[in-house]
């Protein structure tokens, strides 16, 4: 993981990202905003607004233009200038590591070579959150931020874009997709926000070259399978292709279990058995979705629980744990469960 540079505790710089770069990548002092929730809205009418900008001159403000309906003042609480300085520092450090005379390991990395590190760092963040390990979470978020900066630096070295383009694009997207905050749209509940969010995303898609990918085309295929399954189910549900209530899913789970059992024989068809197991996982994921449970998180927590209980069994049995008969191991498992419930 790089040369383990010291100043990784710059995650606080995210506090500045939103307001630090409101102008778009081409340098103009405007961000074009969609007109959501106003059927009679007409394009090209703009209003000047004041936006807070960290690191700017005294007063820390700048002027910008936004489409009609998005003209609310974007002024915010004062931004932590130290966070902006820290962010700039770590960007400079990474550029130095990748530059002439820098770190040989950093210099030879590519977008593809660091992908495994990104996945590893993401799960280390999850682990720190699950354990509520705050000092570790601070450092793990820094490591995850380093991944973003690394990708952006490699892209800059190859002449594609820079980190400031990434930040400006994010700022524009956040404003664009929150017209109920920065514009005149109304969203009283989280469900209202979801409707607005999808409407803005649809407008964004309409501005891009058409692709014949269907409704599920924007669901990424390279995320963890449980995440993909949940997103696919959610997308299909938005056009009415879903179980009407959770009872139907319980029936479907039993149906899929029966199909798995039917494939078990003295010489099972491995491909068919894999297919049926996959169908069972897919239905269980949709059951989780109906119950508003994140299946990935639920499984991670179940894994952590198994680790704790198994370790408790080992400690209770001592060195002879592996040689114990299954009945005694089961008894130790039940004891570990009981002790966990008491604590």
Q: Summarize pLDDT for 278-315 with one digit per residue, the tens.
A: 999 999 999 999 999 999 889 989 999 999 999 999 99
Superfamily name and number for 225-293: MazG-like (1.10.287.1080)
- Give me the half-sphere count of Cα atoms (radius 13 Å) on the Cβ side of residue 108: 5
Structure tokens at 82: 């130290």
Share of the chain above pLDDT 90, in %: 64
From CA 50, how far away is CA 60, in angstroms rounded? Answer: 10
Of the candidate ranges 61-70, 198-207, 227-236, 311-320, the one whose mean pLDDT is the lowest: 61-70
Q: Write the class of the CATH domain 11-182.
A: mainly alpha
Q: How confident is the model at residue 208 (pLDDT cuts 50, 70, 90)?
A: confident
- Whether pLDDT at 3 is above 80: no
For residue 125, give every residue at least 6 positions away whose Cβ sits within 8 Å of its Cβ, in sequence order, or none: 137, 140, 141, 143, 144
User: Which tokens go with 115?
Assistant: 């992908």
Q: 102 vs 209, which has greater pLDDT?
A: 102
Q: What is the pLDDT of residue 343?
A: 81
Whether pTM > 0.85 for this model: the answer is no
How large a percentage of the chain has pLDDT more than 70?
76
CB 323 within 8 A of CB 264: no
Instruction: Count other Cβ atoms within 10 Å, centred on residue 323.
Output: 8
Only one residue has tokens 């694009």, namely 169
Cα 289 from Cα 195, distance rounded (Å):
18
Q: Which distant-in-sequence residues (6+ apart) come within 8 Å of 258 by Cβ? A: none
- C-alpha distances in angstroms, 60 versus 23, 54, 302? 14, 6, 48
The beta strands (E) that lie in the chain are given as 46-52, 61-67
Rounded CA-CA distance 116/209 in Å is 31
Q: What is the pLDDT of residues 107-146, one digit of tens each?
A: 999 999 999 999 899 999 999 998 999 999 999 999 999 9
Looking at residue 36, its pLDDT comes to 46
- Give the rounded distance of the alpha carbon of 271 from its chain centre: 32
pLDDT band for position 2 (50/70/90)?
very low
* Contact partners, residue 90, CB within 8 Å, separation at least 6: 5, 7, 8, 10, 13, 145, 146, 149
Radius of gyration (C-alpha) of the chain in whole angstroms: 26
SS3 181: helix
Q: Is the pLDDT of residue 66 over 90?
A: no
């Amino acid at each position: 993981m790089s040369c383990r540079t010291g100043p990784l505790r710059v995650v606080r710089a995210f506090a500045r990202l939103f307001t630090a770069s409101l102008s778009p990548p081409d340098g103009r002092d405007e961000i074009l905003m969609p007109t959501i929730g106003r059927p009679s809205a007409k394009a090209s009418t703009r209003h000047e607004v004041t936006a807070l900008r960290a690191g700017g001159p005294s007063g820390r403000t700048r002027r910008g233009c936004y489409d009609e309906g998005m003209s609310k003042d974007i002024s915010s609480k004062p931004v932590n200038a130290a966070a902006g300085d820290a962010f700039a520092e770590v960007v400079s450090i990474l550029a130095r590591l990748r530059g002439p005379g820098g770190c040989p390991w950093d210099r030879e990395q590519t977008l593809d070579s660091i992908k495994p590190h990104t996945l590893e760092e993401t799960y280390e963040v999850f682990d720190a959150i699950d354990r509520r390990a705050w000092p570790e979470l601070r450092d793990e978020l820094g490591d995850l931020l380093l991944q973003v900066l690394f990708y952006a630096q490699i892209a800059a070295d190859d002449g594609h874009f820079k980190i400031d383009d990434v930040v400006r694009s994010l700022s524009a997207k956040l404003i664009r997709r929150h017209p109920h905050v920065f514009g005149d749209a109304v969203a009283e509940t989280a469900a209202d926000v979801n409707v607005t969010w999808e409407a803005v995303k649809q407008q964004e898609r309409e501005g891009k070259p058409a692709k014949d990918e269907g409704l599920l085309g924007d669901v990424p295929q390279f995320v963890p399978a449980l995440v993909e399954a949940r997103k696919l189910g959610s997308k299909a549900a938005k056009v009415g292709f879903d179980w009407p209530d959770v009872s139907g899913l319980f029936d479907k789970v039993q149906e899929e279990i029966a199909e798995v059992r039917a494939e078990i024989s003295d010489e099972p068809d491995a491909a068919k058995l894999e297919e049926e197991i996959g169908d069972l996982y897919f239905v269980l994921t949709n059951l989780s979705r109906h119950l508003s449970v994140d299946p990935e998180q639920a499984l991670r927590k179940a894994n952590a629980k198994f680790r704790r209980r198994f370790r408790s069994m080992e400690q209770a049995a001592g060195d002879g744990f592996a040689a114990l008969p299954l009945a005694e191991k089961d008894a130790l498992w039940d004891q570990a469960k009981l002790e966990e419930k008491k604590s």
